[in-house]
A and B are shown apart, each in its own frame.
Chain A
């Protein structure tokens, strides 16, 4: 039990739609990161937020955006969905020191299917 919860667990969208995924971080953690895990692949870093500001971004287009709220919950928004966006989306949290060393606590993910 990592204390990181994600919702929804599964969802189906059609191409061109928009989706919002939510994450509740572990208490006391002020860094949240989002990852995309395609089937049979390792997670790919999308971006991270530190104290409500984006602080690092991977190789993902601007239609992937996020927010972090004062209570350290977070959202991942994806606009203009494409078929290749079908994946498991993982949220991970870490406190200042833990995140600096890569010790992250992952949620179980939101499985997105784009038809």
Chain B
């Protein structure tokens, strides 16, 4: 079955540091890939997505590139801010199936950014 593996956290950085959160996946079809973010006290929000190989998703300074050859979708940001402190989830949707609302999530990575 489908699965997503994220680097284990928590990750603690100083403001303006470079961020990478690794994500690899296993899927039988040709999935769409996502990063969702959960800020303290809020629900999950879509951060960015990529729907096919070599696509780059980007939003709020975050980027991730869909790498089919390495089955990866690593999240990066060049300069993090305190407001980026949150839990980040990598997820996939196997578009070859009929479960339209089914996302397979990784276990989440807690990011804390200090001033």
Contact = CB atoms under 8 A, between A and B. Distances in A.
Contacts of A44: 105
Given A31-B101, A48-B102, A55-B98, A102 B32 contact: yes
Contacts of B51: 101
Contacts of A19: none
Contact of B103 (A102, A107, A108): A102
Interface stretch (A10-18, A78-86, A92-100): A92-100
Contacts of A42: 4, 89, 91, 105-108
A57 B49 CA distance: 23
Interface string A1-29: 01010000000000000000000000000
Interface string B45-71: 110010100000000000000000000
Interface residues of A, number: 31
Contacts of B93: 101-102
Contacts of A48: 99-102
Given A42-B89, A45-B102, A58-B102, A101 B108 contact: no
A24 to B, nearest CB: 13
Contacts of A99: 100-101
Contacts of B99: 45, 48, 55-56
Nearest to B38: A106
Contacts of B115: none
Nearest to B4: A42
A109 to B, nearest CB: 7
Contacts of B36: 106
8 contacts: A43-B105, A45-B99, A48-B102, A56-B99, A103-B34, A103-B46, A106-B43, A108-B42
Interface of B: 4, 32, 34, 36, 41-46, 49, 51, 89, 91-93, 95, 97-108
Pairs of residues from A and B, 7 with the lowest C-beta to C-beta distance, nearest first: A102-B93, A56-B99, A42-B105, A33-B101, A48-B101, A106-B44, A99-B100
